[in-house]
Amino acid sequence: MAKSKSRLRSVLEVAIPALLVLACALVVFRRSVYEPPAAAPQVTALPALPASPAVRADAPEEAVVLSVTGPVQRAHANGAWAKLLAGERLKADESIRTGKGGSTDLRIGDKSRLSVTDSTQVTIRELTHAVHRFKLDRGRLAVDYKPDGERVLKIESEGSDAVAETTGARFSVLSSGSTIAVATETGSVNLRAAGQVVAIGEGRQAVARKDEAPGAALAVLPVKLLLKVAGADTQDLCASVSGQADPGSEVLVDGVPAQVDKAGHFEVKVPRRPAEKKNVLVAMRDPLGREETRTIPCGALGDGNVDDLAIRWKKRLVAQ
């Protein structure tokens, strides 16, 4: 028994100092060597970037004047007319008019072009990301309209409810006062009037007379227009000019629009004013811009006979 107690005392005498040494070593290690892991840093959320503003469908746009040739003027709503210059920008409710030999090209949107040809007046009604809308008072527009989503181009006729609409086409519109004619080179254009609509595909044209539904879309064919000129039967007249044109064509006699009926027939008595007047100028153009002029001497057929003058049209391409 005494021997067992002596052995236990010996073990304790060895173990206790060893435990003390280990405890001291642990304290030293924790204070001088060991570094507890740093606390996780707090993450502050960055403010969200503002979303790109959506482009409103009714946000206004402008038409850029690419080129100007000859007499061309612009006017603000109810404002005075002033010379139009290349590089200017046009907004809604502005008008353009061209004189004889005048023309201007406009860029509308990013890729489309509208050409205002000579002897034309047009008003910009609306330029937005959803609609490009123009009112054609008289004359001819040539359009190269590129597809751009759902945006639509509308060309309205002055004095009637006729409207030409497209989302993408290359075409021309001619207003002669009593009619509006649309001729399409590529793509498709809808002509609406009197509650009816006609689709005008590539290589076809259609005409809408005032207060009437549009006619059928017919193929565009080479045109031969016949003029009949009768000599003056009185000293007050230079000549009597009549002829047959394609419906929708524009005929000017001495710069004055002739009334072309539904069948394309027209007749004009030309007064001899001023007294020294010697000639009559007859000018014609169709929706595609094919045109020709003819000068007729006054009194050339004074005996009352009728002369037939065949006039062949020459094609003028729509602006690229």
**CATH, residue 116:** 2.60.120.1440
Does residue 142 sit in the same domain as residue 183? yes
Residue 9 belongs to some domain of the structure = no
Q: Is pLDDT of 311 > 80?
A: no
Q: What is the C-alpha separation between 93 and 70, in angstroms, rounded?
A: 23
User: Range with the lowest mean pLDDT among 47-61, 110-124, 202-216, 301-315?
Assistant: 301-315
The residue among 196, 245, 231 whose CA lies nearest residue 217 is 196
Residue 302: the pLDDT is 41
* Residue 26, pLDDT score: 60
**Same domain flag for 86 and 148:** yes
Question: Final residue of a domain: which of 193, 219, 245?
Answer: 219
How many domains is the chain partitioned into structurally?
A: 2
Asked if residue 78 is part of any domain, the answer here is yes
Examine residue 150 and state whether it is found in any structural domain, yes or no.
yes
Whether residue 11 lies inside any domain: the answer is no
Residue 291 has pLDDT above 50, yes or no: yes
Q: Do 178 and 101 reside in the same domain of the chain?
A: yes
Q: Of 21-35, 73-87, 218-232, which gets the smallest average pLDDT?
A: 21-35
Domain that holds residue 103: 63-219
Residue 256 has pLDDT above 90, yes or no: no
Last residue of a domain, one of 170, 203, 219: 219
For 73, the enclosing helix (H) or strand (E) is: strand 72-75
Q: Identify whether 211 is part of a domain.
A: yes
211 shares a domain with 115: yes
Last residue of a domain, which of 196, 219, 242? 219
| pTM across the whole model | 0.73
Cα 22 from chain centre:
92
> Given pLDDT bands bounded at 50, 70 and 90, which one contains residue 143?
very high
Query: What pLDDT does 49 receive?
Result: 53
Of 124, 117, 121, the residue nearest 64 (C-alpha): 124
The verdict on residue 214 lying in a domain is yes
Q: What CATH number did the domain enclosing 298 receive?
A: 2.60.40
Q: Mark residue 5 as left, alpha or beta (left: phi above 0; alpha: psi -120 to 50; beta: remaining).
A: alpha
100 and 68 together in one domain:
yes
User: Phi/psi zone of residue 139: left (φ > 0), alpha (ψ -120 to 50 degrees), beta?
Assistant: left
When mean pLDDT is compared over 49-63, 147-161, 276-290, 297-311, the highest value belongs to: 147-161
Higher pLDDT pick, 47 / 179:
179
- H/E stretch holding 287: none
**pLDDT confidence of residue 138:** 93
The answer to whether residues 188 and 238 belong to one domain is no
C-alpha distances in Å from residue 149, one per residue of 131, 146, 168, 170, 202: 11, 10, 10, 17, 21
